[in-house]
């Protein structure tokens, strides 16, 4: 039997359970096992996705320190890029949907949303790393921050009575309000849930597609080699999706918070 035939027949559908186990191991959130010789102990509660969240946050702290350690009156280099980024989020996302005062006050929140989600998305694309945003608990925590600003931010600005009045549209007959007001209140949870599921599902689906395509090569050998370029294409598409989903989450958060802070608009 020639070498090519050996490579083709080396894999078989019997290896499909192994491929499935590898995919589930990489996508599911399990306890992180520290490599031997690590100079510091890791907490028992740390999981794969939790480690990616901590790693992304630490990476952002380092990058922020590197950008700001050489501040000058005339921005240049990485600091200039960071200033452009903050102005873009403030002028094109925060202010248009929350107004001048609230937009400037909450611009830092939306800047944090975008860069933190983007970092977690990109870290998840590094081989042997895990996508934290493919975990519904991570995206749920991010959506919960938006929910808190939608509720308590509106109560802080308008008071409890004003917050409740924001669910009552003007000029609507009271029989319709009996149905409409509970739906409007339920909309708070639905909007936050949509943020959570949108980010989680998009990142999870992209990684599953990549691993499934590569798993075809393991299962069927050289006959499935055409799946490798396709997996590579999906990988580069996921880089675009990483930016897109970070932007969409930030934009929708600004829209949802703005609707509650200024319900009259």
pLDDT at 96: 92
Record the pTM: 0.84
Query: 231: closest CA among 199, 208, 253?
Result: 208
Confidence of residue 11 (pLDDT cuts 50, 70, 90): very low
Mean pLDDT over 140-165 rounds to 90
Mean pLDDT over 90-100 rounds to 92
pLDDT at 5: 40
In terms of average pLDDT, the best of 45-54, 140-149, 161-170 is 140-149
CA atoms within 13 A on the CB side of 163: 14
Confidence of residue 173 (pLDDT cuts 50, 70, 90): confident
Helix (H, G, I), strand (E, B) or coil at 172: coil
Cα→Cα distances 34→23, 72, 206, Å: 20, 41, 27
Sign of CA dihedral 128, 131, 132, 136: negative
Q: Check residues 231 and 248 and name the one with the higher pLDDT.
A: 248
Determine which of 151-155, 183-187, 216-220, 257-261 has the lowest per-residue pLDDT on average.
216-220
Report yes or no: 95 and 251 within 8 Å, Cβ to Cβ. no
Determine which of 68-82, 97-111, 144-158, 209-223 has the lowest per-residue pLDDT on average.
68-82
Q: Which residues touch 198 (CB under 8 Å, ≥6 apart)?
A: 245, 248, 249, 252
Check whether 10 has a pLDDT greater than 60: no
Check whether 2 has a pLDDT greater than 50: no
Q: Check residues 133 and 75 and name the one with the higher pLDDT.
A: 133
pLDDT at 171: 74
Structure tokens at 138: 């991570």
């Amino acid at each position: 039997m020639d070498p090519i035939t050996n490579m083709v027949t080396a894999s078989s559908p019997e290896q499909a359970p192994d491929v499935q186990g590898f995919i589930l191991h990489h996508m599911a959130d399990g306890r992180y096992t520290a490599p031997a010789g690590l100079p510091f102990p890791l907490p028992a509660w740390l999981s794969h996705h939790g480690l990616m969240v901590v790693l992304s946050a630490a990476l952002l702290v380092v990058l922020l320190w590197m950008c700001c350690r050489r501040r000058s009156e005339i921005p240049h280099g990485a600091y200039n890029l960071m200033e452009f980024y903050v102005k873009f989020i403030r002028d094109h996302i925060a202010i248009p949907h929350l107004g001048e005062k609230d937009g400037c006050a909450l611009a830092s929140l939306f800047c944090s949303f975008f860069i933190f989600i983007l970092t977690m998305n990109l870290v998840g694309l590094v081989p042997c790393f895990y996508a934290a945003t493919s975990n519904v608990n991570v995206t749920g925590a991010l959506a919960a921050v938006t929910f808190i600003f939608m509720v308590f931010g509106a109560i802080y600005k308008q008071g409890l009575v004003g917050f409740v009045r924001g669910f009552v549209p003007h000029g609507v007959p009271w029989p319709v309000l009996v149905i409409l007001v509970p739906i409007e209140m339920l909309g708070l949870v639905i909007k936050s849930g949509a943020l959570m599921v949108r980010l989680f599902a998009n990142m999870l689906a992209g990684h599953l597609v990549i691993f499934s395509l590569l798993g075809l090569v393991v299962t069927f050998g050289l006959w499935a080699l055409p799946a490798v370029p396709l997996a590579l294409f999906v990988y580069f598409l996921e880089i675009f999706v990483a930016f897109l989903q970070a932007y969409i989450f930030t934009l929708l958060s600004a829209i949802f918070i703005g609707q509650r802070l200024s319900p009259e608009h």
